[in-house]
Amino acid sequence: MDSLLTQTEFDFRKDVRNFVKQELMPHVEEWERRKKFARESVKKFADYGLFGILVPPEYGGLGGSVTEYLLASIEIARASTSLASIFGSSAGICSAAILNFGTDEQKKHYVPPIVSGDLFPCFAVTEPAAGSDAAKLATTATRDGDDWILNGTKSFITGGDAADVLLIFATVDKSLGAKGITAFLVDRDTPGFSVSKVEDLIGMHASSACELFFRDCRIPGSAVLGEIGKGLRVAFSSLDLGRIHVAGQGIGLSEAALEASLAYTADREQFGQPIGDFQGIQWMLADMSVGIDAASLLALSAARKAESGKPYSTESVKAKLYAAETAADVSRKAVQLHGGYGCTRDMPVERYYRDAKMIEIYEGTNEILRTVIARNLRS
């Protein structure tokens, strides 16, 4: 992938790798073991300017490219998928939704503090009975004078326990189906909002996935993001960008798993020689490397298409699907190559294996992404 980058992109990647090495790596194992959202990382990302990577300078950002956003996701995920997830919420999906659909006032109010790390956002679509079928969400927003009253439950919301502002999707009229869904920005301290559960997840232990509860939660009319009834447009266009980031998570995790495997198989001896000298082991390493290159090219192609200003939904779906399956495959092979030691907490590969499973689920499961690709092929 590096040979296809401009010098600026290449230098940016190197800089982010140094930042990750110095500022994140020393804390990763402790933060993962603690099993809590690593709030400390928010300030580190913000201080380095990474939350503003896609944000225009007028809102305090760097005005960078989608490719740089992808590269940052890869580099952070080489250290920790959880931390990459924290980066993605602020730098991508939430700030992009506000920039693309917000009023001037909303942009000025929310985006600079997201970039500076003073506000952490979350993106809340999923509900207990509406996962893949997001259009069936049941959280209601009922008009009361100029205000809206929210009632409902959201599930698996990344960073929901740490978020200062919630981008939530609710229906203003269930009889309208998808056309009733509307996006709202809700401040955390709004009465009627609470975090009802923090999930005990298989992986990504330095992040969090939470159940959020809204009971007669009154928000002002100015909290609507975009047009009433056009919430799914806000959600889906944000997910197009978000999936390039998630592809980056899969690629970064896979690169780390391959590096660990190369080092281990060069060192570990059985039958009087390093196990890396066995052809069966080499073929596994080769397949891991091919998968990573293929995933990287798909992700880069999606990022370039996004930068061209043309629709890039199919490219970003393909990139996310392929990178997620690559991460699952590469991390499974990495554990296998480490033998029994790969199953212990002493080795990072067990974490990659647990985290990779989740990449296959959020921002569209493998099955749903295949359905989207097939639908686009047939249309």
Ligand X SMILES: Cc1cc2nc3c(=O)[nH]c(=O)nc-3n(C[C@H](O)[C@H](O)[C@H](O)COP(=O)(O)OP(=O)(O)OC[C@H]3O[C@@H](n4cnc5c(N)ncnc54)[C@H](O)[C@@H]3O)c2cc1C
Question: In the set 42, 125, 225, 253, which binds ligand X (CB under 6 A)?
Answer: 125
Q: Is 371 in the site for ligand X (CB under 6 A)?
A: yes
Q: Which residues pair with 269 in a beta bridge?
A: 274
Nearest Cα residue to 130 out of 231, 241, 247, 238: 231
**Residues 122 and 193: beta-carbon distance below 8 Å:** no
Residue with smaller CB distance to ligand X, 203 or 291: 203
Residue with smaller CB distance to ligand X, 252 or 276: 252
Q: Is 135 in the site for ligand X (CB under 6 A)?
A: no
Backbone angles phi, psi at 49, to 5 degrees: 90, 5
Question: In the set 112, 131, 192, 220, which binds ligand X (CB under 6 A)?
Answer: 131
Q: Cite the beta strand spans of 239-286 per DSSP E.
A: 269-270, 273-274
Which residues fall within 8 angstroms of residue 79, CB to CB, at 6 or more apart?
Answer: 20, 24, 25, 28, 252, 256
Q: Which residues pair with 274 in a beta bridge?
A: 269
Residue with smaller CB distance to ligand X, 146 or 200: 200
Nearest Cα residue to 106 out of 61, 165, 63, 20: 165
Q: Can you tell me the distance from the alpha carbon of 265 to that of 134, in angstroms, rounded to the nearest whole number? A: 44
Q: Can you tell me the distance from the alpha carbon of 337 to that of 354, in angstroms, rounded to the nearest whole number? A: 16
Q: Is 124 in the site for ligand X (CB under 6 A)?
A: yes
Q: Work out how close the CB of 244 gets to ligand X at its nearest, in angstroms, rounded to a whole number.
A: 16
Residue with smaller CB distance to ligand X, 162 or 251: 162
Q: Work out how close the CB of 194 gets to ligand X at its nearest, in angstroms, rounded to a whole number.
A: 17
Residues 146-165 that bind ligand X (CB under 6 A): 156-158
Residues 170-209, mask of contacts with ligand X (x by CB under 6 A): -------------------------------x--x----x
Q: Is 126 in the site for ligand X (CB under 6 A)?
A: yes
Q: Work out how close the CB of 8 gets to ligand X at its nearest, in angstroms, rounded to a whole number.
A: 31
Q: Can you tell me the distance from the alpha carbon of 213 to that of 157, in angstroms, rounded to the nearest whole number? A: 11
Angle value at C-alpha 184, between 371 and 319, nearest 5 degrees: 30
Which of the ranges 8-16, 41-49, 256-264, 357-365 carries the binding residues for ligand X, by CB under 6 A?
357-365
The catalytic residue positions are 363
Q: Is 87 in the site for ligand X (CB under 6 A)?
A: no
Angle value at C-alpha 104, between 101 and 109, nearest 5 degrees: 100
Q: Is 373 in the site for ligand X (CB under 6 A)?
A: no
Residues 305-344, mask of contacts with ligand X (x by CB under 6 A): ----------------------------------------
**Residues 214 and 193: beta-carbon distance below 8 Å:** yes
Question: In the set 6, 22, 132, 194, which binds ligand X (CB under 6 A)?
Answer: 132
> Amino acid identity of 94?
C
Residue with smaller CB distance to ligand X, 48 or 362: 362
Q: Can you tell me the distance from the alpha carbon of 323 to that of 296, in angstroms, rounded to the nearest whole number? A: 8
Which of the ranges 70-78, 116-124, 260-268, 337-345 carries the binding residues for ligand X, by CB under 6 A?
116-124
**Residues 184 and 168: beta-carbon distance below 8 Å:** yes
Angle value at C-alpha 346, between 344 and 350, nearest 5 degrees: 50
Question: In the set 140, 196, 336, 365, which binds ligand X (CB under 6 A)?
Answer: 365
Residue with smaller CB distance to ligand X, 126 or 182: 126
Q: Which residues bind ligand X (CB under 6 A)?
A: 122-126, 131-132, 156-158, 201, 204, 209, 358, 361-362, 365, 367-368, 371
